[in-house]
Chain A
Amino acid sequence: QKEVEQDPGPLSVPEGAIVSLNCTYSNSAFQYFMWYRQYSRKGPELLMYTYSSGNKEDGRFTAQVDKSSKYISLFIRDSQPSDSATYLCAAEGTGRRALTFGSGTRLQVQP
């Protein structure tokens, strides 16, 4: 079993929809959680990072972490065709060394 699990999708939504992307993790030592966006043949781009449980909002993006259920979420409001990409969740322990990634969810926003 992978330490970070993510539904690969693809997830297809109409423009303007609210998108919910989710991950689960198994390692209780994870304290830091990140979401990256990756366009085809590009490097991952950091979108959001959070420490421990709670919510964090940045524009149309909201990241949510529930450590009690080991559940990580990213919500995208008013989705745009330019949001079409693969979204990767990642986690890191208190040692702040290597990131552990999920396999990514491919999102398609239809105009």
Chain B
Amino acid sequence: DTGVSQDPRHKITKRGQNVTFRCDPISEHNRLYWYRQTLGQGPEFLTYFQNEAQLEKSRLLSDRFSAERPKGSFSTLEIQRTEQGDSAMYLCAWVEASTDTQYFGPGTRLTVL
């Protein structure tokens, strides 16, 4: 049990197409994060939400990326006009309140052809 489910687990798309990923927390979590991990690298922060408010965005989050968390529950990450450089694992993380530590979901692996 990773605390969140992510859908789809793997997405293959052609360059120029739009893709949307979803992260569903299993229970209520105030803070929810998105990270991107490329091959051989550690995860890199993209953005995070406190309930429904998007509080911080990384410079990695270009204008082709948009994230939402309507009603403070599930979150979506959309990439428009995908490029081959977008190929990566996209990870969702939630925060355990008592320790303030982040736990990661299984990730969505994106392959852009």
Contacts and interface: CB of A to CB of B under 8 A. Distances in A.
Interface of A: 4, 6, 8, 32, 34, 36, 41-46, 49, 88, 90, 96-104
Contacts, number: 53
B85 interface: no
Interface residues of B, number: 24
Given A97-B56, A99-B45, A104-B41, A45 B101 contact: no
A49 B101 CA distance: 8
B41 A98 contact: no
Interface of B: 2, 33, 35, 40-45, 48, 55-56, 58, 91, 99-107, 109
8 contacts: A43-B106, A90-B42, A98-B45, A98-B48, A99-B45, A99-B102, A101-B43, A103-B42
Contact of B43 (A6, A8, A42, A44): A44
A36 B107 CA distance: 15
Contact of B2 (A43, A90, A100, A102): A43
A8 B42 CA distance: 10
